[in-house]
Structure 1
Amino acid sequence: TLKKGDLIFTGTPEGVGKVHQGDKLEAWLEGKQLLNFDVK
């Protein structure tokens, strides 16, 4: 169970590219969108 303030660290799989200005990033957990932002 995750609690408020917990951090999740993940590795980077092979083939993942760099994040660039103008990219759009999203994070989902169990079908619920938690983050959605543009890289500036």
Structure 2
Amino acid sequence: MAIAAWGALTARIGETFPLDRTADALWLSMTEHPVGKILLRP
């Protein structure tokens, strides 16, 4: 936990989708190999 508090961990964000495009985010995760994490935003 302390490593995260120091800012030593980072996560690469590959794509960001609004909640109404959740199906598109799921499709991307199942059909392609995105570089980074797929985020859903409100």
* TM-score under structure 1 length normalisation: 0.22
Higher relative contact order (CA 8 A, sep 6+): 2
**Greater fraction helix:** 2
Which of the two has greater strand per residue? 1
